[in-house]
Amino acid sequence: MPETMVQTIVNAIMLELTVDKGGRVVIPKSLRRGLRLQAGDKLAAEQQGDGMVLRPIRPEVALKKKYGIWVYGAGGTQSVSSAELVEQDRERRIQELSR
């Protein structure tokens, strides 16, 4: 069999879960811990044949390695200068404190 056809499954866990009347299932603590899931995290559900795959939806990482250097990426091009962002944040904080 060619190496490209070999599929390795790492840390595969098969658990039996029960669906309640509201359509909910409880993900066991060991699985939540292993996947770093917390209350409020979102999951993507995908039907595969007669089964289902749940995957955590993770926000895009702000730090990325570019040319060997860690770079902060806010996502897309930034049309506002850093000084303007600092000023906007400062004004937001002042408004919060004055409430």
Domain boundaries, the chain: 3-56, 63-97
Please indicate, yes or no, whether the overall pTM of this predicted structure exceeds 0.85: no
Alpha-carbon dihedral sign for residues 21, 22, 28, 34:
positive
| Per-residue confidence in pLDDT tens, the chain, 99 aa | 444 444 444 456 678 889 999 999 999 998 899 888 999 999 999 999 998 989 998 877 677 778 888 877 655 555 667 778 888 888 888 888 887
Q: What angle do CA 17, 20, 23 make, to 5 degrees?
A: 95
CATH class of 3-56: mainly beta
Closest CA to 30 of 44, 15, 46: 15
